[in-house]
Structure formats: structure tokens, C-alpha cells
Amino acid sequence: MRKLRVGIMGCTGLVGQQFIKMLSNHPYFEISCLTASSNSEGKKYNEVVNWMLKGEIPNIVKNLIIEKTSIETFIKNNIKIVFSALPSSVAKDIEIELRNNGLYIFSNASAHRMNEEIPIIIPEINPEHFELAEKQKNKYGGFVITNSNCTTSGFVMALKPILNLKLKSAIITTYQSISGAGRKGIPAMSIFGNVIPYIKDEEEKIERETKKILGQLVNGKIKEKEIEVIANCARVPVPFGHLECITLEFEREINESLFIKNLINFKGEPQKLRLPSAPERPIILINEKDRPQPIFDIHTEKGMAVVIGRIRRKNNKISFFLHVNNLVRGAAGTSVLNAEYALKKEIIEN
């Protein structure tokens, strides 16, 4: 198979670095263009990046010159597929401009997540929402596909397999790592030895993105899932990985072993299609009494699986802890999986 040339916008940031790691030796895609802000433009990648991930900067990008984030850059480089790790304020206009010029954008930014023409896709959960990508393609030539906020991607992974057990409401309380705030993070004086019970807009994002992702397509539009979601988010002094404590309420008393069986057996389209970045199982259950923990569980299935433990039932409620790798499953990994799915399903041309 001929590898497709791809670009990465926001290549020096944490999500951009994770894209580079996942795409530097990818069977379908070849990194052919990197862009960032005017501060980095014209410089070699390894001269400007503050590499924060495990392992070396991949050789393939070390000497690549960072280019301007613009439509001209991608046209000149003959690139149709672009992965976006831009701040939302920057993504807002450029992603739409690229789409309207026939490019395919896989974005991590929140700017367009709630736009009704643009889906938020996690391919294990709602691959049918790719229909909205086809609709955009017909109308604009290209498309923007987003993936969810990092916390939401773990949360919905746990909800999807048990929705049919008559789920009524969900309360999620998070312990989110510093890397979730990007490369510049949080000032050490604010977070060291501390917990901050506020992350701007995060609770609202979890509540509305969950309903959109779990929604059904009706006459070409997403009808949001009716479910009560209450989110409480806190930043904790942990570098990578988000922990979530989730309590689910069902319409009637819940059978714990059925609940566990549904989680363990859950697989989606990426597993059936054996996509290169698909984990063998997207949900891993762990029995140790004090897990999951970010330091032990962050690399499970190369960061593509969520890890669930400490399941407890009381009448019609079930509580558990879940760990999600915010940069992989919560960001770049799901974008790459979306692109693999789109290619395999011929939503993007080879």
C-alpha cells in the first residue's frame, strides 16, 4: 500500500509530539509537513521542540523545517490529510478554511466539536457518525472530524458497553494531570503539593460532548442521547494520565457480573477491522485493590486502552475508577484511529 502524505499542525505541542510518535513509522501515513506558530516557523524541528515524551525524537522529523500554518503550505506540499493539535482559538478558522479547500482534518481542538455538521468520533463508539464526514465532503470537498475532550474519551468508552442496561444518570469526578493543560502546563507554584478543583470549561465539555457522541443519527442529524451527566473536574500534580471516578445510576437494580461481562467483551469496528492503532481490547479490567493508577496504567495497550478497576455495586448504582491516557486515547491516538478507519472504509481516497 502506498503511504499517504500527511501534515501535523501544532507539531511542537504535547498532542503534536504524540502525533509525531504515532505517525513516524505508520503503515498507512507518512509525515510530510509540520506546522506551528510563527515562533517556530523556518526552524528545524529538533531545534525548537521541547520533547516531553518517552523515547527519542523520531529521526524522520528531526531535520524537518517547520512551516507556516496555512492552506498554501499544505497545497504546496501536496497534502490532503492534516492532523490538528492547535489551540482552539487558532483551529477555529484554519480548520474550516482547509476543509473548504478539500482537505481532510482530524482535529483535537474543541472549536468545532459542537458544530452540528461536524462529528466527534471515537471509532469504537460511534463510527456511524462518519456519515457527517461524507456529508461535509459532498458540500465542501473536505471534512473536519474531531475527537472528544481527553476526559470524555475515557468516560464514553465505559458508558457505551452498558447503555443497554438502562442507564439513567452518570456522575464523573476527575483527577486530571498537568499535561492536559498543554506544554506550558500550570505554574509549579499553583500545582505543586496541591489540588485545584477547577478546569476552565471542562465540566461543560464532558456533559455536552458525551450526549453528542452517544447520540443517534436521525435524518442526517445527531439526536443527542438523553442522559443526565454531572461532571466535577480537578487538576492534580501528576504529569501524565487522567483518573476518573464514575458512578452510574440505572433504572433498576443492576447485575454486577453482567455489567463486568459487558465491559470485558466490548470491542468495536477498529478491532474488527484490525486497524494498526486499535488496541486488542479498548477496555481492560484490573482486579488489584488499589488500581488503576497513572504511573502503572498509562501505557496499557500503548495508551489506547482505558483501564477500569475498583468496581462496587449498591442497589441500582455502580461506582468504579477509570484511567485514560490523555495524550493517546484522549487525543492523538483517537485522531489517528479515526484516520485509519476513514481510509479503510474509503471515506478518504488512497
User: Does the protein bind ligand NAP through residue 183 (CB under 6 A)?
Assistant: yes
**Residue corresponding to grid cell 448504582:** 317
Q: Out of 4, 6, 7, 14, which residue is the one contacting ligand NAP (CB under 6 A)?
A: 14
CB atoms within 10 A of CB 345: 15
Q: How far apart are alpha carbons 345 and 350 in whole angstroms?
A: 10
Residue selected from 127, 180, 215, 241 as contacting ligand NAP according to rule CB under 6 A: 180
The alpha carbon dihedral of 188, 86, 88, 338 has a sign of negative
| Chain residue at closest Cβ approach to ligand NAP | 13
H or E element that contains 95: helix 88-100
The yes-or-no answer on residue 33 being catalytic is no
**Site for ligand NAP contains 336 (CB under 6 A):** no
Neighbours of 62 (CB within 10 A): 13
Q: What cell numbers appear for 346 in the block?
A: 474509503
15-44 positions binding ligand NAP, by CB under 6 A: 15-16, 36-37, 39-40
Binders of ligand NAP: how many residues, by CB under 6 A?
A: 30
Cα 238 to chain centroid distance, Å, stands at 19
225 binds ligand NAP (CB under 6 A): no
Decide if residue 325 touches ligand NAP (CB under 6 A): no
Q: Is 237 in the site for ligand NAP (CB under 6 A)?
A: no
Amino acid, res. 254: I
What b/e string do you get for 225-256 counting C-beta neighbours within 10 Å, with b at 16 or more? bebebebebebbebebbbbbebbbbbeeebee
- Which of 112, 129, 242, 323 is catalytic? The answer is 242
Q: How far is the CB of 314 from ligand NAP (least distance, A)?
A: 33
Contact flag: residue 69 with ligand NAP (CB under 6 A): yes
What nine digits make up the cell of 102? 478539500
**Residue closer to ligand NAP (CB basis): 20 or 162:** 20
Nearest distance, CB of residue 108 and ligand NAP, angstroms: 4
Give the interface segment with ligand NAP, choosing from 5-13, 115-123, 221-229, 285-293 (CB under 6 A): 5-13
Annotated catalytic residue 26: no
Q: What CA–CA distance (Å, rounded) separates 35 from 9?
A: 5
CB-nearer residue toward ligand NAP: 82 or 263: 82
| Distance in angstroms (rounded) separating the CA atoms of residues 325 and 241 | 5
144 binds ligand NAP, rule: CB under 6 A: no
Quote the CA–CA distance of 85 and 240 in Å, as a whole number: 17
Q: Could you say which of 33, 112, 129, 150 is catalytic?
A: 150
Residues with a catalytic annotation lie at 150, 242
